[in-house]
Amino acid sequence: MSKKALYAAMLAVMIFLLAAGAGCKKKEEQAAYPQGGFTSPITGEHEIKLLKDVLKEDPKNLNALIKMGNAYMDSKRFKEAVDAYGKALEIDPKNIDVRVDMGTCLRYAGLPDRAVEEYRKALEINPEHLYAHKNLGIVLAYDLGDSAGGLKEFEAYLRLAPNAPDALEVKKEIENLKGITKRK
């Protein structure tokens, strides 16, 4: 088996294991971890090492770049996640979920203006992307002090998903932001 085929097989197994684990994690989180469960730093670092090996052999491997961005994001290495997501977007610029994740990492990396740019690009591609609206609302309202802009995005989120699991919390934020915009 060639080295490239071996890396491809390793990536396929890793993706399968991650996908299988994701279903289990949701059940575990619901049962025992009310605020998002936990991630194992050993597993995350091992995953990152495997992905780096794959990307050495195939630097344009879109799935590996996205998984690398996700692994960095999960381990709160936001600037590295932005780099990986940026490379993925060079290959697939219309990947909305990657663009939204990149926006979130930019926010946590202390770059809210760039986060807004990414969320708006995502909304240009799909004006009904729920998390682009919600995340844009968060950054506008709470990072950039644009209560009216945040309000508009939260309202769009609820228009698109009135029965979302977090609808009650979003409604409370809308009321809070309405109060702020009236005082201005």
User: CA–CA separation, 177 vs 152, rounded Å?
Assistant: 10
Taking only the tens of pLDDT, the chain with its 184 residues reads 555 544 444 444 344 333 334 333 332 232 232 333 444 444 678 899 999 999 999 999 999 999 999 999 999 999 999 999 999 999 999 999 999 999 999 999 999 999 999 999 999 999 999 999 999 999 999 999 999 999 999 999 999 999 999 999 999 999 999 988 777 6
- What is the pLDDT at residue 4? 52
Query: What percent of the chain is helix, strand and coil (3-state, nearest 5)?
Result: 80, 0, 20
pTM here is 0.75
- What is the pLDDT at residue 182? 75
Domain ranges of the chain: 1-93, 95-184
Q: Name the CATH topology of 1-93.
A: 1.25.40
- What is the pLDDT at residue 46? 87
One-letter amino acid for residue 97 of the chain? D
User: Which residues have CB under 8 Å from 28's CB, separation 6+?
Assistant: 37
- What is the pLDDT at residue 102? 98
Question: Would 1-93 and 95-184 be classified into the same CATH topology?
Answer: yes
- What is the pLDDT at residue 145? 95
CATH class of 95-184: mainly alpha
Q: Mind giving me the DSSP string for 55-91?
A: HHH-TT-HHHHHHHHHHHHHTT-HHHHHHHHHHHHHH
